[in-house]
Structure 1
Amino acid sequence: MLRPHPAVLRRLVDEYEALSAAVAASETADLSSRVRDLAYTLCVSTGTRDVERALKVAHQWLATAPAPVRESAPPTITGQRMATPEPA
């Protein structure tokens, strides 16, 4: 089974958990539709059928995901023209 990128999965989990807490506290209808959409997306992303199981699987996957690689900024060259490859 394909797995979603850990950063995407983390964003889905974080947003779902934050919005579901807000909906439980305020019963706002416009937020509840987004929560349902996120629940569906989490279920599809984790291959599960209910959101509680999806969250459990997502947390397990995130716990074993490799640490994100931090990309360093490309070196900047001031006052020089960068070489361009010759056409083949």
Structure 2
Amino acid sequence: MAHPAVLNDLIDRYQTLRLLNPKAPEVRRRLDDVSYTLCLATGTSDIDAALLAARLHLPGARPHDDSAVPA
């Protein structure tokens, strides 16, 4: 798993690129690159899993989500 600072940077880059026109060839290429890198950095095979895994390794993340457990 990559360092949290690296993961945070990749998440930020991914989110920024998603706000741009994904049909533009350069944006699509950069989005594909950062998605691939996030997957490699987290040991996952799709971007949704990569984003979740990366966020769970950031400082302050709750490793066990008990939000679905009744109080």
* TM bracket, shorter-chain basis: 0.7 to 0.9
Give every structure 1 segment of 4 or more consecutive aligned residues whose post-TM-superposition deviation is greater than 4 Å.
none
Alignment RMSD (CA, Å): 1.5
Identity %: 39
Q: Deviations over 1:43-78 (max 9, x none)?
A: 01000000011001111111447xxxxxxxxxxxxx
Whose RCO is larger (CA < 8 A, sep 6+)?
A: 2
TM-score (norm 2): 0.76
Matched, 1:6 2:4: yes
Separation of aligned partners in 2, 1:60 and 1:23: 28
Gaps of 5+ in 2: 62-71
Mapping of residues 1-88 of structure 1, within 5 Å: 3-24=1-22, 27-64=23-60
Count of residues in correspondence between the two structures: 61
Separation of aligned partners in 2, 1:55 and 1:37: 14
TM-score (norm 1): 0.63
